[in-house]
Each structure stands twice: as C-alpha cells, then as structure tokens.
Amino acid sequence: MARPHRTDAPGAVHHVMIRGVDGRAIFSCDSDREGFLIRFALLVRELGFLVLAWCLLGNHAHFVLQTGPRLLADLMARLNSRHAQRFNRRSNRKGHLFQDRYKAVLIIDDATLARNVAYALGNPRRHALMSMRGLEVYPYSGYGALVGSRLPRSFESPELVARALGVARERIRDFVEASALEAGSRSAALEPDQVAELNLLIRDCCRRHGVDESALRLPRASSRAIRAEVCALATDSLDIRLKEVSNRIGISYRTAKRTTAREGVE
C-alpha cells in the first residue's frame, strides 16, 4: 500500500515520535541514550534544526523540532537508521527496531506549539514515572535545562524555547505541570501519536478513493462510504473513539453514528 504524503517543508515545526516495534525498548541503557543524543546533536547542527523540546524514555521518544533548510525526513532517516544499526549490533539482534517509520504532527499555531512542547517535556510525568522534582534532574528530557536544574546540552537553547512559547523561563515549571494535570483530566482527548496515526489513516483512505479530505464532509453517498471506512478503521484498528474521529473529519457525532450504523461501529 502506498504511504500517504507527509507534510514537510523548510521552517516547519513538527512534534515527532518514535517507538519500538511491538513496544520493545529502543534504549537498553544510558550508553544507548548518550550515543543517540551525540548523533542527534551532530545532525541537528548539520541540518540547521531548532530543538524546542525532547524526551527519551525506554521504548519511545518525543521531539518538537523546527526544520532548517533541510527536511524532517532527512534528519529522521539518518538518525533512526544509525541508532538501529548500533543498537542491534550491541544487542546481538536483527530486524526492525522502530515501529514503522516515525510519526510527525505538523504544528501550525502558537497554542498547538505550547501544548506539544509541554507534552514532550513532561512525558515521564504523564506516564507516572517520576514526580516534577524527579523530572528536573532526569537527564533525558529538555525540561531540566529549561528550568535551570542542569546545564544545557549542545543542541538546547532554553532562552529561544521560552521566547518561542511566550513564557518566561521561571514560569516553565508551572507551564509543564499545568499541562500534565490537564492531561489527567481529559481522558477522552487524543494524544499526539494518536493524532498522527488518525491523520495518516484519513489521508490514506482519501488517497485510495481518489478524493480530497474535504470530500468527507459532503452529503454524498460516496462520501458516506468513505466516512464509514475511516470511522471503522479508526475505532477498530487505532482504538480511537468515534466522537474524536467525527471531530477530526468535521462532521457531527450524530452524523458519524448514522453513517457507520451499517458497519457496526460503536
């Protein structure tokens, strides 16, 4: 199946996510993480990227990146392939390390940027892996450099990040903590990786049917059939609630229920 086109252009800002295949670890020790970050630092400097947020966990990682003259795909292809080769050699394993290719959510406004930066920085807190105090000293998140609890790495620019967010550096702690608390109270909201997966699914369905995404909102029998397919795949394969799918494609929940009734989507 042809993969959908990824929106990518110089100067674009993306929330990028990588995950291990079948949920497996992509970092087995701190040496793996440090090697990954050395390679990352070299590449972002060479390609002219600005790193707005980042975090490494055991089986996944998050980055919020602004591209330079080169595309996001250039960075991720070189970063992931080199890390996978090194990890497999050190672990005496073969095969794919990452789950498919990376996921990327294009960020188009300041409010979305703020949410995604807070999400990436506070990811360990969201997974209940550590307290906010623990996050300050966790060496594999950009949070510590932003709040001044450690020196910045070579690819980190705390003042530029604070300026991009419109938040004073001394308010970053409150900013990230409020985001983590908000996430806990919005259990139905989609996480960035779910947004990326849903966007790719919609683009793929529309591409296979030869229509633009705007056609999903039209009151046509052909559009209803494509909507039903999108809703069925998203709810069954991605485990995304029908209400969230209807919001994304721009139709009412009632319309989505009526359209998908014959498909057995709940």
Q: Which residue has the higher pLDDT, 174 or 237?
A: 174
What pLDDT, on a 0 to 100 scale, did the predictor assign at position 128? 65
**HEC string of the chain?**
CCCCCCCCCCCCEEEEEEEEHHHCCCCCCHHHHHHHHHHHHHHHHHHCCEEEEEEECCCEEEEEEECCCCCHHHHHHHHHHHHHHHHHHHHCCCCCCECCCCEEEEECCHHHHHHHHHHHHCHHHHCCCCCHHHHHHCCCECHHHHCCCCCCCCCECHHHHHHHHCCCHHHHHHHHHHHHHHHHHCCCCCCHHHHHHHHHHHHHHHHHHCCCHHHHHCCCHHHHHHHHHHHHHHHHHCCCCHHHHHHHHCCCHHHHHHHHHHHCCC
Q: Per mean pLDDT, which range of 54-68, 100-114, 140-154 is the poorest? A: 100-114
Residue type, 48: G
What pLDDT, on a 0 to 100 scale, did the predictor assign at position 9? 81
**Most confident listed range (29-43, 88-102, 113-127, 171-185):** 29-43
What pLDDT, on a 0 to 100 scale, did the predictor assign at position 181? 58
Calpha distance 101→108 (Å, rounded): 22
| Residue 5 confidence (pLDDT) above 50 | no
Mean pLDDT over 232-242 rounds to: 79
What pLDDT, on a 0 to 100 scale, did the predictor assign at position 173? 78
What pLDDT, on a 0 to 100 scale, did the predictor assign at position 53? 94
Residue type, 256: A
How does 44-68 read in b/e, with b if 16+ C-beta sit within 10 Å?
beebebbbbbbbbbeebbbbbbbbb
**Most confident listed range (4-18, 60-74, 166-180, 213-227):** 60-74
Band of pLDDT at residue 167, cut at 50, 70 and 90: confident
Mean pLDDT over 50-61 rounds to: 93
Q: Which CATH architecture describes the domain 13-185?
A: 2-Layer Sandwich (3.30)
Mean pLDDT over 170-190 rounds to: 63
Mean pLDDT over 1-12 rounds to: 60
Q: Which residue has the higher pLDDT, 43 or 94?
A: 43
Q: For the chain, what are the domain ranges?
A: 13-185, 192-263
Band of pLDDT at residue 1, cut at 50, 70 and 90: very low
**Most confident listed range (33-42, 129-138, 171-180):** 33-42
